[in-house]
Structure formats: structure tokens, C-alpha cells
Structure 1
Amino acid sequence: MYELKTKQTDASVIEFIENVDHPKKREDAYQLLDIFTETTGFEAKMWGPSIIGFGSYHYKYATGHEGDAPLVGFSPRKAKISLYFAPGETKRDELLKEFGKHTTGKACVYINKIADINVDVLRKLIRQSVTFLKETYPDQ
């Protein structure tokens, strides 16, 4: 049976951020921690070795595959900072037009630094993603 790699852990979020090599990326990670915490109202938790997640939901696909994932989150990776939101069938793409400098993946939005983005739009993306996932997976 398939084993999920990204599970919530008891690892320290602060310890993880303190181990981010680049000082500016570490500073941005603390700023994102504040923004995500204030916007979601959830305590930050580590998901796997490198994702800082907020809240959680349980999903189950028609294939039978199921698991738990954070509602939103981020990871200060070496190359870029990954921001995790609900996938594109939401209003995400519309909001991203006003977001600032970024690239996108299926569920990720990648930024170089907070100074490149509109923080108000970030807050909207966070709220929209949490609302979408809670409506899509209401049995929480």
C-alpha cells in the first residue's frame, strides 16, 4: 500500500527555520510564519522534513487514495520559497495576476523573496485556499 511521505511531525518549526542557511531566506521564513499564522489562525506544524503547514484536511480520491495534508503552507527551499495553496481550479490564478514576481506549479507557487510579492494578495490566497479546501472536504 502507498505510504504518504509528507505527514505532520512533532519537529520544531522554529528549529527548522533557524537551520535555513541563507539569512535573508530565514528572515522571510519568519515573516511568512507570522503572515500564515495570523491569516489562518492555525499553529504552524512541520509536515515531513521541510514543509511548514497550517491546519489540515483529510482527502479521499475516487481511486481510493487518501491522506491528510496541510490546508496551506510554505517551505524555504534553497532555490526558491515554495508556497502551498489549493490547486488552480480555485480563484488562485486570478489572484496571482496581482501577486508579483512568481512562478507556478500544480499546487505550488514559487517566489524568490517576500519583497517581490504583494502581501495583501498573499493573505487573500491563503484565505481563499483554506475556504476552498474546507468546502471541498467538509468532514473535518
Structure 2
Amino acid sequence: MADLESAMALVRGKPFDGRTPPWADPVIQEMLSRITDTAHTLARWHTDGDTPDLEAARRIVFHTLDIEATSEVLYRDLLHIEWAAANPAAVRRTVARLQQMARTYNISLDGLTEDTINLVLSGRPSPGTNR
């Protein structure tokens, strides 16, 4: 986990800082994919471990959403984090942010994302709240 944290600490913004030479499109997509995968892995480890660190999970997700604003997997992670933190106001803000992103980019949310939204808005306690 320490190596992944160190790698994410090196990520300072979007690859190529918004200046995209035509040849770089596939490279940028690959970099964004790896950044997102790493952030997702860290967020889940911090959320689901024996000693959850929800603040660390939240920090890594927000940092990565600033770089890749359309990542549904990171929004799902954030929903799980806020649900585990028993923070219904943050859950509602995250749902609103996710829905706004989908409207802005004209994206249909995937079934797993819709299921996650329904779960965290259901009023049921997170499995982690009984720790």
C-alpha cells in the first residue's frame, strides 16, 4: 500500500497539463486509467480494511476526481466512504455531484452505479458501522 500511496503522491494533475499533442491521446487515456485504478484500489483498502481510514480514502478519491472527473468507479468509492462514515449529507452531495457530471457529459450511469446510489440512499446502515 505504501508504494501505491507514494505513486499517487507523484500525480500532480492531468497528464500533459491539458496541452494534448495529437499523438498523446492513447498515452493520456492509459495514464488516466492507471491513475484511476490505483486510486480505486487505495480507496477500497482504506475503506474496507480492519482499521478503516476513511479520511485517507476520501482524500485519494477527491484528488483523483480532480484529474478524472468522469470516473464512475471513484464516485461509487466516495459513496461507500460516506456511507461507511454514516454521513448522509455527504452521500446526498456525492449523488448530486455524480448526477450533475452525468448530465454535463451526457453519460448514462451504469447499473452498478445506480444500484450503489439506491443502496446508500436506502437508509440502511453500512456494514462497517457495526465495528
TM-score exceeds 0.5:
no
Please tell me whether Structure 1 or Structure 2 has the larger radius of gyration of its CA atoms: 2
Larger strand fraction of residues: 1
The normalised TM-score by structure 2 is 0.31
Greater helix content: 2
